[in-house]
Amino acid sequence: MSIPPDIDNAVDELADLFHLLGDPTRLRIVLACLAQPTAVGDIAGALNLSSSLVSHHLRLLRAARIVKAERQGKQVFYAAADAHISGLLSNMFEHIAEPTTGLDA
């Protein structure tokens, strides 16, 4: 792992990213976009949320470069911004699935 030269700014950005992903609704929205680009209406339907709420969260996630948007005709499809996001989430799910032993190794 390389430490960025502007560590204070990087720490702030990373904390903001984790803060955004710390919201269960936003995390579910990102997970809904991992397998394939997905339209707002499809995300809303799958998560039983309003399209306006999903759009609001997607705007925040997009500003943080967690998801990216691609317009196809009148619809906008959202996907994970890059492999770093999907890898991060995959690693975290693996981490929480590990059995706990109660001992620090």
Query: What does the pLDDT average to over 46-65?
Result: 97
Verdict on whether the full-model pTM lies above 0.85:
yes
User: Per-residue pLDDT tens for 14-49?
Assistant: 999 999 999 999 999 999 999 999 999 999 999 999
- Averaged pLDDT for residues 50-66: 97
Tokens of 5: 């030269």
Q: Point out which residues pair with 72 in neighbouring strands.
A: 75
Percent of the chain beyond pLDDT 90?
Answer: 83
**Going from the N-terminus, what domains does the chain have, and what CATH number goes with each?**
7-95 (1.10.10.10)
Digit-coded pLDDT (tens) for 63-93: 999 999 999 999 999 999 999 999 999 999 9
Write the CB contacts of 38 (distance below 8 Å, at least 6 apart in sequence).
Answer: 32, 77, 78, 79
